[in-house]
């Protein structure tokens, strides 16, 4: 079963969830606003995806860019946990392994 992480009112997350439902892919949704991501989760995504899961085109990032970029790696993770809107959404996992970051119709079509 897939795990999808994001924010329930995010339009991109809504698209991704609808797409998974249309493909009849089983998934469990984790809302960052209800349960913030953990350091372990962010570290796992970073290790697998090769970068912090940050949406550098998002409004939240633009608001904190200077502060964020001046932080150490561990402090960046703390800020991501505190401001989960920084995370590029959705993040999709299967068996605790990241599958994709962000939503791509083509990537999601490959899931079946």
Catalytic residue among 3, 5, 7, 10: 10
Cα distances (angstroms) measured from residue 1 to each of 55, 83, 87, 92, 97: 25, 27, 22, 11, 11
d(CA 89, CA 49): 13
**In terms of Cα–Cα distance, which of 49, 39, 40 is closest to 88?**
49
Question: Cα-flanking dihedrals φ and ψ of residue 27, to 5°?
Answer: -155, 160
10 is catalytic: yes
Closest CA to 12 of 108, 93, 88, 94: 88
Three-state DSSP class for residue 79 = helix
User: Which amino acids are annotated catalytic?
Assistant: 10
């Amino acid at each position: 079963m897939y795990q999808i992480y994001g924010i329930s009112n995010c339009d991109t997350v809504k698209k991704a969830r609808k797409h998974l439902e249309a493909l009849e892919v089983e998934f469990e949704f984790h809302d960052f606003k209800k349960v913030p991501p953990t350091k372990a989760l962010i570290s796992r995504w970073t290790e697998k995806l090769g970068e912090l899961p940050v949406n550098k085109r998002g409004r939240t990032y633009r608001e904190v860019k200077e502060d964020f970029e001046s932080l150490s790696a561990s402090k960046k993770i703390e800020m991501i946990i505190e401001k989960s809107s920084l995370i590029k959404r959705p993040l999709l996992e299967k068996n605790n392994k990241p599958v994709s970051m962000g939503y791509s119709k083509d990537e999601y079509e490959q899931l079946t």
